[in-house]
Structure 1
Amino acid sequence: DNLCRKWCNPAPLNGSAPNLVVQDHDQDGRPYYKRAFNTQACEQLNAWLGGFERIVSRMTAANFDWFIHVMLFLHSKKIMTKQSKASTRDQDMDEDESEDDNSSDDEDDEDEDDEGEEE
């Protein structure tokens, strides 16, 4: 309905929310509109914050602002640490795989050397 479309549209194309919708171009150079934020990440964050509803419902506005800022800071720090560990783990796995490939090549070379000595 018009009321919902006017006040609840997450991606208005009339220019009323330039931070929500950006114009991009496809491979053929044709312009199209896309959302400028990650809705899935927003939903996950809102679900996480929902766990604090009972606590924040009793706070003053100033305490609420402070609490939310601190919680978002801590949550962001936790996520960034988790991503960093995952990235490091992936790099270590890639290095291990390349070392395994190199060691199997070395073993093949040794086998060829052994065959040459036997003759």
Structure 2
Amino acid sequence: MLSCAVTDGVLIGHPCCGVHNCAIPLSSNHAWYCPLHTGREASCAAEGCNNGAEPGRKTCSNPEHHLLEENYYAAGHSHHGGRKKAPGLKAHFGRRRMHNEQLIVHPCGVIVARGTFYGAESLSSVAEFIHGVFPTPQAMPDVMFYDNNCCLHQYLSGQGPIQEHFSKTALVVDVFHFKNHHSTADQYCSTHCNPMAFPQLYNQQSGQWTFNSSACEQTNAWLRNFDGIVQEMLPVRYEFFLDEVIRAHNHFCVDELQHNNALPYLMDRSLLLNGLNSIA
């Protein structure tokens, strides 16, 4: 018996601290920085610059930083063809929002876990998230679908203990992304993450895939409908709301599976502790 999970990120979230990857809650949904970093409000908005902003501006006296600010506000007008570029420089002038929610979903549609990513959907963050949800190698699914698994597979190489944690799991790119977004010239992806390379994942006789590798994409489309509701919430209300709608979603999903005689069940914990058959 093969176990499978699918992970992906969905762009939904609430306001957060303007310091990259800071998870400290804001004091109100009108604040730009958390209580720890509130002193940054008077600093230059250019990334990496610690100078104070000039009066009436959000940037310091650096002309290149001025240009960033001018370009930002020019973008809000219909005529801005004369904007000049400031290569290699970035700035953050508006309120920062958390990057995404990362979901892990079973192919049947039941949501296993979610994780809030504040800064980016980085490979290290995805690996740590999966590791936290499946804390032992025996608990890891036999198959993990992710649209960026080819990069995750390379990232894990040489990472020591965490690479060993993933060693019995097939890190496969979901079918849709492999066919439409991954180059056939990418030998690494074709060798390690091609779903067609695993005969257990495809039934040649029926022409059907063993698992619905798009389960997370489909669930993300459902969850994204709540973005307008949660986008101004503070973390406590946001976390409570998402947990409740996900709980309701899972109850509905299990009821539908039972109605269709799909026989959903909770896996015996001893199976996870004793290990499962691996296809990797």
Normalised by the length of structure 1, the TM-score is 0.49
> If each structure's helix is expressed as a fraction of its own residues, which one has the higher value?
1
Larger Rg: 1
